[in-house]
């Protein structure tokens, strides 16, 4: 089993948390992992991406080659399109439909969504609304992770355990909130698949 | 075996802690910042009283590390690649003094300039200083190389350079740890004049450094970080440096490469192994991130018919970070590509945070400057460099730490009056203070804005060394008290701030305006911690 994942979003949207959760779950499963992330200048409201590779075999490159990613997980719709050069023919795009609009020339959202649903394999959901319904707009990233969970090659319980571990220090309330967000995304994806 | 998931930077830090480090010295700079932060957050470091406070700049950091090495204890100094320019004087001379306790210099390069002004290659500095260089190819090597580097440094009494790249620094993977070992006790240098670089002594020390060069090459020949992996197809020999080994392997899914491969992780390059490859193979391909350092060395002026391919002949691009696809193309393999980015996707450049004090400072400055011709604002390195972009477009230069003040001075000397410098509080203490003294001594008609947000913001909010001391430093340097103006960059003070700026722009001497308001990210962080502790 091997999954090459591009995580995409805007600085501050929480893609590193997603990476940590998948990473922890993968390690618990005895898998290898390489994850390359963005720090510094590019974080300041700019586009950010992370290469996450998990595999049962040892992993060579820290970077995923173009055209070979199994999925793009994005917390922002336009950002999901920015990394299409990485996506393999069979790859999935799992993305939020709610834009992060911090630029004056953000394209027409309907056209952005039209581009996304044009990709053969996709899951699109309004993670912002789902997160609010769960209890906090901050967990939109975990809703997206939930929507991606059927494609990660690991059991749902492994991800739940990882959330318990990663958010452990923040208390039971935060853990429960994130578990609910994960579930909301999962349920949505299962309906769309 | 216990495996920890660590960034390359964190692996270095953990490696240093476990190898008996006594002190880490650094000024923050992407992609090197996390090394020192890891030590700062380490309970083990606290328990063992390992020094980890930030230094004012890379030069002071390098010198303090050298001082710790002088006492026989192990020290590590970390910086981004351009930081090594700042520390170059003590760095180069430390190769002449040599080390006593293990001394490691970490310089983190940024090929593709993800967060930098250039993509200089620190290996050139290592060669310049005639010292060994270690270049990790994965997180485990990063961890292991620190202990190896300290041992090497103590064996030959020479500082060792570890060269990182952004990808290595900010990529995470599992690392197996070794049991920690004790710090060194204080043990003074055997020769108490070893560090006195008077010409007579320096000449002897330099000769020793030169005499050690063959031993350094011999160490490279047998180093665990230099591996010759033979292959049956001798039509091509491949030399890979550091992380690029991974990009090569990525192109061979079964991990079997038909060509001989030499993986280099320790310099000076292992001459014997390179010669073996040159004798065995028809042509060579050199794959290295950064400058074509090894490639140039092999090509030389007369390569005697040996064909060397790499960045210089266009087999690989001359600049920018490498990746598996570029290596595939260099090998003549089929490239892979997903689909093109749809045309509607637009750029999303980094920008100042909403509520950032710099925005209010720039809005006031733009208005105060509106009566003068454009192109008069010299700025510096920090978040406020983003003021060059739309919509503010407030600044006209960003060169190196501290250059705002001295460039404004030079421009004013040339007759461009008024000339303005914009510099952050941390950058000011890093390298701006000395330039301000030049301006005061020359009575240069410049206006200096020291944007004081109380933190080193761009790299993630580290302590600012001059916190609470900025106006006193200006006074001490000789700026007249009447022309040190402290303002609060807020919308509601806009008119007043514009007025103060106009007054100082009209003054024909050195004036300093300090717009002071805490970084919004720092405020949020502080509030969160306060809330958490309640």
B68: nearest Cα among B45, B94, B100, B97: B100
Contacts of B339 in chain A (CB under 8 A): 84-85, 87
| CATH numeric code, B3-222 | 3.40.50.970
Side-chain-side CA neighbours of residue B213 (13 Å) = 14
The beta-carbon neighbor of A42 closest among B33, B115, B341 is B115
Tokens matching residue A113: 């969504």
Which residue does chain A place closest to B4, by CA atoms? A27
For residue B128, the tally of other CB atoms under 10 A from its CB is: 13
Q: Pick from A10, A24, A44, A52 the residue to mutate for testing the B interface (most B CBs within 10 Å).
A: A44
CA distance B185 to B100: 12
Q: Specify the pairing of strand B446-451 against strand B511-515.
A: parallel
Q: How far apart are CA B439 and CA B229, in angstroms?
A: 59
| Residues A51-99 pLDDT 10s | 999 999 999 999 999 999 999 999 999 999 999 999 999 999 999 999 9
| CA atoms of B154 and B69, how far apart (whole Å) | 10
Say how many domains are in chain A: 1
- Between CA B409 and CA B411 the distance in angstroms is 5
The residue ranges of every structural domain in chain B are: 3-222, 227-330, 357-523
Task: List CB contacts (< 8 A) between B30 and chain A.
Answer: 39-41
The per-residue pLDDT for B304 is 67
The residue behind tokens 């050199």 is: B286
Q: Which residue of B has its CA nearest to A115?
A: B342
Long-range contacts of A92-95 (CB under 8 A, 24+ apart): A92/A121, A92/A122, A92/A123, A92/A148, A92/A151, A93/A119, A93/A121, A93/A122, A93/A123, A94/A122, A94/A123, A94/A144, A94/A147, A94/A148, A94/A151, A94/A189, A95/A122, A95/A123, A95/A124, A95/A125, A95/A144
- B16 versus A38: the higher-pLDDT residue is B16
Which residues lie across from B485 on neighbouring strands? B513
pLDDT at B96: 98
Domain that holds residue A55: 2-192
Please state, in angstroms and as integers, the Cα–Cα distance from residue B417 to each residue in B67, B392, B484, following that order. Answer: 44, 22, 19
Per DSSP, the three-state class of B24 is: strand
Mutate to test the interface with B, among A6, A28, A61, A92 (most CBs of B within 10 A): A61
Asked if domains B3-222 and B227-330 share a fold, the reply is yes
Residue of A13, A30, A36 to mutate, testing the B interface (most B Cβ within 10 Å of its Cβ): A36
A134: closest CA of chain B, how far (Å)? 22
Q: State the Cα–Cα distance between residues B54 and B29, nearest whole angstrom.
A: 11
Task: Answer whether B335 sits within 8 Å of A66, measured CB to CB.
Answer: yes
d(CA A53, CA B219): 35
Neighbour tally for B187: CB within 10 Å = 11
User: Which of B137, B342, B390 to mutate to test binding with chain A, by most A CBs within 10 Å of its CB?
Assistant: B342
Q: Give the angle B62-B68-B69 at the CA atoms, nearest 5°.
A: 90
Looking at residue B131, its pLDDT comes to 98
- Across the interface, which of B3, B7, B167 has its CB nearest the CB of A63? B167
Cα separation, B2 vs A20, whole angstroms:
18
Nearest to A157 by CA among A33, A30, A54, A21: A21
Confidence of residue A41 (pLDDT cuts 50, 70, 90): low
Q: Do A68 and B167 touch (CB under 8 A)?
A: no
Task: Find the angle CA(B457)-CA(B520)-CA(A170) to the nearest 5 degrees.
Answer: 95
In the prediction, which pLDDT does B1 show? Answer: 46
Supply the pTM of this predicted model. 0.95
Q: What is the full DSSP assignment across B17-46?
A: HHTTEEEEEE---TTTHHHHHHHHT-HHHH
Reply yes or no on whether the pLDDT at A43 is more than 80.
no
CATH code of the domain in which A62 resides: 3.40.920.10
Distance from C-alpha of B210 to C-alpha of B305, rounded to nearest angstrom: 30
Query: Quick one: how many helices (H) and strands (E) in chain B?
Result: 21, 20
pLDDT of residue A42: 59
In chain A, whose CA is at the least distance from the CA of B172? A35
Instruction: Pick B325's closest partner by Cβ from A65, A78, A102.
Output: A65
- Contact assessment for residue B225 and residue B268, using Cβ atoms and an 8 Å cutoff: no
Minimal Cβ distance to A45: which of B328, B342, B351: B351
- The Cα–Cα gap between A74 and B48 comes to 43
Provide the pLDDT for residue B266. 98
Q: What is the CATH code of the structural domain delimited by B227-330?
A: 3.40.50.920
Tell me which CATH code domain B357-523 carries: 3.40.50.970
Q: Kindly give the parts of chain B with pLDDT less than 70.
A: 1-2, 302-304, 533-534
| ipTM score | 0.94
Identity of the residue in A35, A42, A67 whose CB atom sits nearest the CB atom of B171: A35
Reading the block at residue B426, the tokens are 């941390």
Contacts with A101 from chain B: Cβ below 8 Å: none
Q: CA of B167 to nearest chain A CA: how many angstroms apart?
A: 7
Distance from CA of A106 to the nearest CA of B (A): 7
């Amino acid at each position: 089993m091997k999954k090459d994942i591009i995580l995409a979003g805007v600085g501050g949207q929480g893609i590193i948390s997603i990476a940590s959760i998948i990473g922890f779950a993968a390690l618990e499963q005895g898998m290898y992992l390489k994850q390359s992330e963005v720090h510094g200048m590019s974080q300041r409201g700019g586009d950010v991406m992370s290469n996450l590779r998990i595999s049962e075999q040892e992993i060579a490159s820290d970077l995923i080659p173009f055209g070979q990613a199994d999925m793009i997980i994005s917390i922002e719709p336009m950002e999901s399109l920015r990394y299409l050069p990485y996506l393999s023919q069979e790859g999935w795009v799992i993305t939020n439909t709610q834009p992060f609009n911090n630029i004056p020339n953000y394209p027409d959202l309907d056209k952005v969504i039209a581009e996304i649903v044009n990709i053969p394999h996709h899951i699109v959901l309004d993670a912002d609304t789902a997160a609010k319904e769960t209890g906090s707009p901050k967990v939109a990233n975990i809703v997206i992770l939930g929507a991606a969970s059927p494609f990660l090659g690991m059991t749902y319980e492994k991800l739940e355990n990882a959330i318990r571990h990663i958010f452990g220090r923040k208390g039971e309330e935060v853990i429960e909130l994130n578990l609910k967000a994960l579930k909301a995304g999962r349920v949505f994806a299962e309906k769309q698949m | 075996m216990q495996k920890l998931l660590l960034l390359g930077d964190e692996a270095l830090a953990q490696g240093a802690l476990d190898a008996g480090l006594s002190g880490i010295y650094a000024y923050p700079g992407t992609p090197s910042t996390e090394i020192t932060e890891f030590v700062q957050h380490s309970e083990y470091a606290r328990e063992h009283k390992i020094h980890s406070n930030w230094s004012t700049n890379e030069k002071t950091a390098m010198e303090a590390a050298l001082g710790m090495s002088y006492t026989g204890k192990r020290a590590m100094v970390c910086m981004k690649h351009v930081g090594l320019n700042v520390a170059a004087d003590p760095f180069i001379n430390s190769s002449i003094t040599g080390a006593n306790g293990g001394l490691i210099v970490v310089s983190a390069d940024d090929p593709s300039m993800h967060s930098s002004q250039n993509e200089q290659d620190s290996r050139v500095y290592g060669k310049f200083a005639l010292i060994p260089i270690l270049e990790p190819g994965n997180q485990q090597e990063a961890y292991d190389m620190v202990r190896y580097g300290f041992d090497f440094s103590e064996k030959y009494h020479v500082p060792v350079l570890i060269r990182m790249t952004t990808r290595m620094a900010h990529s995470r993977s599992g690392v197996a740890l070794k049991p920690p070992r004790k710090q060194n006790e204080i043990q003074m240098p055997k020769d108490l004049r070893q560090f006195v670089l008077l010409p007579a002594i320096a000449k002897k020390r330099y000769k020793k450094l030169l005499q050690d060069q063959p031993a350094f090459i011999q160490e490279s020949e047998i180093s665990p970080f230099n591996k010759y992996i033979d292959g049956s197809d001798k039509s091509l020999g491949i030399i890979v440096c550091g992380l690029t080994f991974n990009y090569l392997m990525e192109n061979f899914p079964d991990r079997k490469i038909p060509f001989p491969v030499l993986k280099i992780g320790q310099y000076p390059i292992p001459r014997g192994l390179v010669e073996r490859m040159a004798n065995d193979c028809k042509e060579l391909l050199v794959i290295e991130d950064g400058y074509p350092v090894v490639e140039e060395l092999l090509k030389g002026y007369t390569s005697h018919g040996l064909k060397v391919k790499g960045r210089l002949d266009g087999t690989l691009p001359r600049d920018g970070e490498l990746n598996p696809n570029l290596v595939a193309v260099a090998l003549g393999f089929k490239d892979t590509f997903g689909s093109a980015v749809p045309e509607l996707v637009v750029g999303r450049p980094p920008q100042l945070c909403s509520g950032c004090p710099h925005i209010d400072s720039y809005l006031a400055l733009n208005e105060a400057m509106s009566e003068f011709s454009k192109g008069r604002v010299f700025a510096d390195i920090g978040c406020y460099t983003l003021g060059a972009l739309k919509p503010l477009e407030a600044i006209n230069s960003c060169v190196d730490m501290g250059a705002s003040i001295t460039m404004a001075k030079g421009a004013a000397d040339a007759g461009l009056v008024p000339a303005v410098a914009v510099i952050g509080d941390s950058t000011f203490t890093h390298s701006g203070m000395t330039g301000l003294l030049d301006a005061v001594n020359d009575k240069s008609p410049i206006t200096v804005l020291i944007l004081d947000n109380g933190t080193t913001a761009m790299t993630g909010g580290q302590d600012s060394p001059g916190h609470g001391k900025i106006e006193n430093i200006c006074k001490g340097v000789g700026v007249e008290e009447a022309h040190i103006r402290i303002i609060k960059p807020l919308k509601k003070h806009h008119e007043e701030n514009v007025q103060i700026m106009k007054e100082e722009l009209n003054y024909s001497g050195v004036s300093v305006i300090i717009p002071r308001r805490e970084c919004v990210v720092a405020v949020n962080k502080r509030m969160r911690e306060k809330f958490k502790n309640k």
